[in-house]
Amino acid sequence: MSDTANIFEQKPDPDTFGGRLLRAREASGLSVKDLAWRLGVMIKTVQGWESDRALPSSHRMANLAGMLNVSLSWLLHGVGIGTASSDDLPATSAVDTRLSRLKVLHTQTGDLISRIESDLERLQADAAA
C-alpha cells in the first residue's frame, strides 16, 4: 500500500493498540527488553502498553512507529501502514491474540491471589500466636 492511499478506505485492523504494538514489535524482531532499552523505559512499561493497561506519551508513540516501521495512525487506529501481514490478518487471528494475552493475565492473577491468600493465612497465624 502506498503512502498516498486514502487510509479511510482501508478496513481497520480489529486489534487493540496493545495487540498492534505487540505484533509490530515481534515482526521487527525486537524483544520487549530491546524495545524498552531503545526507548529508555522499563520493561514493565512496554508490557503495560502491550497489554492495554497504559498508553505511551505522544513523543514515545512517534518513536515507536519509527522504530517498528509502521505508521502512527496504524498503531493508534488500525489504519495506515502496519506490519507486513497486518492487511491480511483475519479477525479470528486478532481475537486469538487477545485470548492468548487474556490467558496469560488470568494465570498471573491466579498466582497473585494465591500469594495474597498465603500472606493472609500467615498474618492470621501470627496474630493468633
Buried b / exposed e across 65-102, counting CB within 10 Å, b at 16+?
A: bebbebbebbbeebbbbbbeebeebeeeebeebbeebe
Helices 32-39 and 58-68 pack at an angle, to 10 degrees, of 130
Q: What is the pLDDT of residues 37-85, one digit of tens each?
A: 999 999 999 999 999 999 999 999 999 999 999 999 889 888 888 886 5
Which one of 1.10.340.30, 1.10.260.40, 1.10.10.60, 3.90.1150.10 gives the CATH number of domain 10-128?
1.10.260.40
Q: What is the pLDDT of residue 4?
A: 47
Q: What is the pLDDT of residue 84?
A: 66
For the chain, give every domain's residue range.
10-128
Q: What is the pLDDT of residue 86?
A: 43
Q: Would you say 12 and 74 are in contact if contact means Cβ atoms under 8 Å apart?
A: no
Q: What is the pTM of this model?
A: 0.60
Which residues are within 8 A (CB) of 50 and not within 5 positions of it... i.e. 6 or more apart? 18, 19, 21, 22, 25, 32, 101
Q: What is the pLDDT of residue 104?
A: 83
User: Does residue 98 have a pLDDT over 90?
Assistant: no
Kindly report the length of the chain: 129
Angstrom CA distances, 91 to 7, 76, 121, stand at 19, 17, 45
What percentage of the chain has pLDDT greater than the value 70? 84
Burial (CB < 10 A; 0-12, 13-18, 19+), residue 22, is buried
Of 89 and 21, which is predicted with more confidence? 21
Q: What is the pLDDT of residue 123?
A: 94
